[in-house]
Amino acid sequence: MYLLNSAPSAAIDKFIEILKVFLLGIVEGVTEWLPVSSTGHMILLDEILRLNVSEGFREMFLVVIQLGAIAAVPVLFWDRLVPFSSKKSAEEKKQIYSLWLKVIVGVLPAAVIGLLLDDFLDAHLYNFIVVAIALAVYGVAFILVEKLKKGSDYRIESVYDLSYRDAALIGAFQCLSLIPGTSRSGSTILGGMLMGVSRPAASEFSFFMAIPVMLGASGLKTVKFFLDGGSLGGFEWLLLLIGVFVSFLVSLLAIKFLMSFVKRHSFIPFGIYRIALGALVIGYFLLTK
């Protein structure tokens, strides 16, 4: 009798975990690209709908799920990122190669600092207070920058017009995203706008820099997981694949939405949303902890 009852119960438990992963994939796919902090959302959602898995797998899953989001970038921007088409002129190919070099220049600062401080950041900054403060502070920053830039002309309208100096400075702003709650896309877009880069160009460059950044972060977290003795069973592989696939599909829509949005609107609504979410995070954890 116990075996008969336990089998349906185990199936229901697995189904619930799959539903949680679907929801996490949706949230990752939306928030990775919008300047609202995917980390802040994932920490809050994971607290409410915590996966019933080992701590090591959970930490790895929340990072590796970003691979689905990153896959959406080359799919949507294939023609702007891949120089090998015979239809492209020599000048167009040169532009793309130059763009990739600028991307590498842009990601180096955060890559070096992130690699050196990864364990420290995990141990000391991944908490609701830091996340809530970062959400609110950068929400205010978006509102102030938009007010400051209102009516101003941008000196750079195309991602191809960025100089190596521009790329390095945007990369320096990206280092701020190592603080959870800041938002990688938010810090790079904000930095770009302060430097006179248009919203569409800053957003595109932020997307392109995400490719090596997310690949590196996912690879580092995966290696640490296995070096620490972690292993994946069949069901854990299924959860990981579902999360990555869902975040990929949702990211396709999120990126299209943002690129359309920034051509007609400012980032002020995102700033207001960030402030509200920061207050929600503080309120939730103060009431439940």
Res 289: pLDDT: 66
139, 272 in Cβ contact below 8 A? Answer: yes
**Structure-block tokens of residue 281:** 């995070």
CA-based nearest residue to 188, from 250, 263, 102: 102
Residue 240 has pLDDT above 70, yes or no: yes
d(CA 75, CA 142): 29
Higher-confidence residue of 16 and 55: namely 16
CA 118 to chain centre: 16
Contact between residue 245 and residue 25 where contact means Cβ atoms under 8 Å apart: yes
Q: What pLDDT, on the 0 to 100 scale, is given for residue 140?
A: 94
* Number of neighbours of residue 259 by Cβ within 10 angstroms: 17
Segment 207-225, tens digit of pLDDT? 999 898 888 878 888 888 8
Residue 7: band (very low, low, confident or very high) from pLDDT cuts 50, 70, 90: low
Count of the separate structural domains present in the chain: 1
- What is the distance between the terminal CA atoms of the chain, rounded to a whole angstrom? 39
**Where in the sequence is the domain holding 223, given as residue range(s)?**
2-288
- Mean pLDDT (whole number) for 255-275: 90
Q: pLDDT (tens digit, 9 = 90+) per residue, 107-151?
A: 998 888 877 777 777 777 777 788 888 999 999 999 998 888 887
Report the C-alpha gap between 113 and 20 in whole angstroms: 32
